[in-house]
Amino acid sequence: MKAYLPLLPVTVIAGLLPIMWSIGTGSEVMRRIAAPMVGGMVSSTVLTLVVIPAIYAIVKQWEVGRERKNAPAVPVPAPAEATLP
């Protein structure tokens, strides 16, 4: 089922486009219904596939940088003295 989920919005949009572009009896009403549905499906698909992952990546990068900044400093050990024979 998960394999078909990305295809669902595309098929719905493809199915609504002929309704949106139709000419004939009653097409004025159907266009008014189909146009907002196509716009909603396109915008939700773009938000889901592009915008939300980008925001997630930006927030994750910001959190990692913040953790590094607040991490305690690790003391550097002094070099061992060389002993002469």
Instruction: Name the one residue in this structure whose structure tokens are 């913040």.
Output: 66
pLDDT for 1: 60
pLDDT for 83: 62
Say which amino acid occupies 38: V
User: Mean pLDDT, consecutive 10-residue segments, the chain of 85 residues?
Assistant: 71 85 85 88 86 93 84 69 61
What does the alpha-carbon distance between residue 58 and residue 84 come to, in Å, rounded to a whole number? 55
| Radius of gyration of the chain from its Cα atoms, rounded to whole angstroms | 28
* Token pair of 77 as six digits: 């050990």
Q: Determine phi and psi for 37, rounding to 5 degrees.
A: -65, -40
